[in-house]
Amino acid sequence: MTKRMYPFYFVSIALCFYVVFTVVPGLMGIYLSLTDWNSYAKEIHFVGLANFKTIFSSDENYLLGIKNTVIFTISTIMIKTVIGLLLAVLVNKGIKWKSLHRVILFLPAVIPMLVVGIIFKSIFEPQQGFMNEALRAIGLNAWTQHWLTDIQWAFKSIIAVDVWKGAGYIMVILLASLQAISNSYYEAAEIDGANAFMKFRFITVPLLMPALTVTTVLNLLYGLKVFDTVYVLTNGGPGYATEVVYTQVFSQFSLGSYGVGTALITVLFFIMTLLGYFAIKLMSREEQN
């Protein structure tokens, strides 16, 4: 094989990999979502859009799972981006032991979700958990809550745990981009009389837009596919208050209702594609501006 054929060789391998592991499973998933595939029937029958009608029926809880997934995704993207950016700016300054601070802030991102779940289930325990004990210690007894079993607080608590775990990861990505910004931009801005906020608004943020686009897309993909955080902390409860799409998929597959479960994945795929497209388009427009 000549050297000229190497690019075609590697491209063909990549295309084959893409077709076998992405296109074919995707098309099979779409087809199976249009069937009554389940563990109780010996044959699979084509049922058209029946599974999707079931999902979007007001009599079921699937719409709540889709709604919770979208809310979780948008909330965590916004909160983790803001906190991650603030942390990146802080640890980028000349503070003492900044390497140690960076490690401590990044540490939650590498802790397994199972361990995080065990830790926070004990922290949020209503009687002797650290959260309520701390509130009682400072005289805020009225603020104590059943954090993971109260319908009003369970989903908010899950979002808070995910932000705690993921903000450090966003910080590291943004910190790398911050360190790549030349000081000459800030020096020129100081000569022109720019204050700290103006430098942050007109220099730091625009030059961080490529990194912010990356973190937004990563958070979007993770948020829409969230499962372990919800499963470990509440398993979708109390009731159906914290159900997300993948906990519902897990339930449907556990019950042997593979057709409905696959239809849920298909719906999530289209939501992911739609939100991803608009997110990238919006962030790209901000980069150009």
Angle at 285 between CA 282 and CA 286, to 5 degrees: 90
**Domains of the chain with CATH codes:** 61-288 (1.10.3720.10)
Residue 287's pLDDT is: 61
Helix (H) or strand (E) holding 114: helix 113-123
CA 229 to chain centre: 10
The Cα 73–Cα 271 span in angstroms is 11
- Residue whose token pair is 């430098």: 199
Do residues 175 and 92 touch, judged by C-beta distance below 8 A? yes
Tell me the three state secondary structure of residue 172.
helix
What are 96-135's pLDDT values in tens digits? 777 888 889 999 999 999 899 999 999 999 988 999 999 9
251 versus 97: which is more confidently predicted? Answer: 251
Tell me the three state secondary structure of residue 35.
strand
Mean pLDDT of 218-237: 92
| CA-to-CA separations, 172 to 59, 84, 176, 215, in angstroms, rounded | 44, 8, 6, 10
Residue 286's pLDDT is: 64
> For residue 12, how many other CB atoms are within 10 A of its CB?
11
Name the nearest CA neighbour of 112 among 224, 232, 218.
232
Tell me the three state secondary structure of residue 46.
strand
Q: What percent of the chain has pLDDT over 70?
A: 96
Structure token digits, residue 117: 């779940």
Residue 288 has pLDDT above 80, yes or no: no
CA 243 to chain centre: 15
